[in-house]
Amino acid sequence: MKQSFIYSSLSGNSGKMKTNNNGKPELSVSGKLLLILASLLVMSAFITTPVLAGTKYMTGSPELSVSIDGNNEFTPGTTVPLTILVQNSGLNQIKFVQSGIVDSDDVPNTAKMVTVTLLPGESPILVKSDPQMAGDITGSEVKPVCFEIRIPEEANAGTYALPVVLDYTYLGNSEQEGTDSIVYRYVSKKLEMELPFIIKSAINLNVTDVQAENINSGGSGFITLTLKNTGTDSGKNAIANISRIGNSPLIPVSNSVFIGEFAPGSEKTLKYKVSVAKDAEPQDYPLGISVTYENADGETITTTPQKVGVFVGADVEFTITSEKPQMNPGKKNFIEVTYRNDGSVPVYGAEVRISAVDPFTSADDLSYLGDIQPGESAVARFGLSVDETADTKIYGLDSEIKYRDALNDSHVSDTIKVPIDVVPKEGLAALLSSPVFVGLLIVIILGGGYYLYEHRRKNSKQ
């Protein structure tokens, strides 16, 4: 039988070996611990300590492209936001991983500090926005950039190419120096592309003539507009609409006129009824006009509202041109008052009413004036009575003129003061109105009567 020996240094007994019940050698507790520790040391010798690895991209660059977000068809006469999508489809094709490499902050296929510039090129559009910053665009990323553009009314229909310029930089290569630093080398690039841009055929509305009829403050009248289609499209089922602009005193009464077919180069003359606010001053005021129609594609389109100026005349005003009538206390007289139309439009069926107040009374306070053209005059006749006790001075009685305008609408003028001069009586009338004179006259008459009576009585006795 082969026998195993264990040194005393492991067994813990000098020169002696401990055996178990079967007579075989047995390790002590301390010996077992030392054996485990030795085994771990042997195993660690076969384990390799891992080393950190870095990444380096050998090839790759940005691949940028542009497109319009949504529909690329636009209507003349509009100002719209144009959103351009910038897409980076660049790939990093070779990736190298190795220990001792320091990771780079940038990767080659990232477009950095991208600036997008939109140009009109040979198209008629107006670009109202400056170049836009898009920032960094990583691989497989899409970034929107928005521009504001204006398509003029006179723009011809067709397909145009809008130049788009992309300015950016990207990581060309990087060189590691030592174990803790990297030198980056960036490349600047300018990329020019074109965007397909379609201007749809449309009506181009042009107002060639404006005529105002009886348009004055506080009244109603007609506005006649001549419209011309200077565009390239023919509008079907066209409707011309006028509209109030802001706080303009011009308020449409009938605001829509059906045109029907509105062919290129054709003119349409349309008539609208409008009312004017009472506080309007004599000057030009804006009025909006637009046309809603169906284009060749069956779409319903409304043109951009055009603004036209309409002159508003002064409110109808009447002035008294006759001299002040005179009246005596206690008398009834017919007075005549001349009214002149100082407005800019004629009035029809005018009649004037005077308001008699104390000390005046009237049984004939209404007078018919008839039709009065601007600058013409008409005479009114009133019957007035003055109280006997009225003070002698100038009074002012209110009068108002009711009339109809050219559209047969009824109006009432502002209050017009009628001056009346109440003067003392003159001559015999003045004497008869004096109590002293009347008393003296009665005394004289009675005295004369008594004298005649006595004289006849004496003659009859003789």
What average pLDDT does this structure show over 95-109?
74
DSSP per position, 256-270: EEEEEEE-TT-EEEE
Output the CA–CA distances (angstroms, integers) from residue 147 to 117, 128, 226, 228, 253, in the order listed. Answer: 9, 7, 36, 32, 40
Output the CA–CA distances (angstroms, integers) from residue 255 to 207, 270, 399, in the order listed. Answer: 16, 11, 37
pLDDT tens readout for residues 304-334:
889 999 999 888 899 999 999 999 998 899 9
Q: What residue type is 231 in one-letter code?
A: G
pLDDT band at 180 (very low <50, low <70, confident <90, very high): confident
* Closest to 74 (Cα-Cα) out of 163, 193, 160, 164: 160
Report which DSSP code applies to 4: -
**Range with lowest mean pLDDT among 174-188, 195-209, 419-433, 443-457:** 419-433
pLDDT band at 169 (very low <50, low <70, confident <90, very high): very high
pLDDT of residue 100: 62
What average pLDDT does this structure show over 4-20?
43
Beta carbons within 10 angstroms of residue 277's beta carbon: 14
Beta carbons within 10 angstroms of residue 68's beta carbon: 18
pLDDT of residue 425: 77
Structure tokens at 73: 């068809």
**Range with lowest mean pLDDT among 88-97, 186-195, 398-407, 452-461:** 452-461
pLDDT of residue 392: 92
Structure tokens at 264: 């290129």
pLDDT of residue 228: 94
Q: Distance (Å, rounded) from C-alpha 152 to C-alpha 204?
A: 9
* Closest to 406 (Cα-Cα) out of 349, 447, 347, 448: 347
pLDDT tens readout for residues 377-416:
999 999 999 998 999 999 999 999 999 988 888 899 999 9
DSSP per position, 190-241: EEEEEEEEEEPP---EEEEEEEEES-BTT-EEEEEEEEEE-SSSPEEEEEEE
Which residue did the predictor score with more confidence, 105 or 61?
A: 61
Average pLDDT of the chain is 85
Q: Distance (Å, rounded) from C-alpha 305 to C-alpha 449?
A: 97
Contact 114, 59 (CB under 8 A): no
Residue 293 in this model has a pLDDT that exceeds 70: yes
The bridge status of strand 73-74 relative to strand 181-199 is parallel
What average pLDDT does this structure show over 413-433?
78
What is the maximal distance between C-alpha atoms in the chain? 223
pLDDT of residue 179: 72
Q: Distance (Å, rounded) from C-alpha 452 to C-alpha 462?
A: 16
Residue 13 in this model has a pLDDT that exceeds 50: no
Which residue did the predictor score with more confidence, 194 or 343?
A: 194
pLDDT tens readout for residues 131-160:
999 999 999 999 999 999 999 888 888 899
Q: Distance (Å, rounded) from C-alpha 343 to C-alpha 318?
A: 7
Beta carbons within 10 angstroms of residue 329's beta carbon: 17
Contacts of 34 (CB under 8 A, 6+ apart): 10
Residue 442 in this model has a pLDDT that exceeds 70: yes
Residues across the chain? 462
pLDDT of residue 451: 74
* Closest to 147 (Cα-Cα) out of 125, 169, 167: 125
Contacts of 325 (CB under 8 A, 6+ apart): 333, 335, 336, 337, 420, 421
pLDDT band at 11 (very low <50, low <70, confident <90, very high): very low
How many percent of the chain have pLDDT more than 70? 85
Residue 299 in this model has a pLDDT that exceeds 50: yes
How many percent of the chain have pLDDT more than 90? 53
Contact 192, 165 (CB under 8 A): yes
Residue 189 in this model has a pLDDT that exceeds 90: yes
pLDDT band at 56 (very low <50, low <70, confident <90, very high): confident
Q: Distance (Å, rounded) from C-alpha 193 to C-alpha 268?
A: 44
* Closest to 25 (Cα-Cα) out of 2, 45, 46, 48: 2
What average pLDDT does this structure show over 362-388?
94
pLDDT band at 250 (very low <50, low <70, confident <90, very high): very high
pLDDT of residue 143: 96
Beta strands in 58-157 (DSSP E): 64-68, 73-74, 78-88, 95-99, 111-118, 126-127, 132-137, 142-151
Beta strands in 105-219 (DSSP E): 111-118, 126-127, 132-137, 142-151, 158-177, 181-199, 205-213
Output the CA–CA distances (angstroms, integers) from residue 237 to 233, 293, 294, in the order listed. Answer: 13, 6, 6
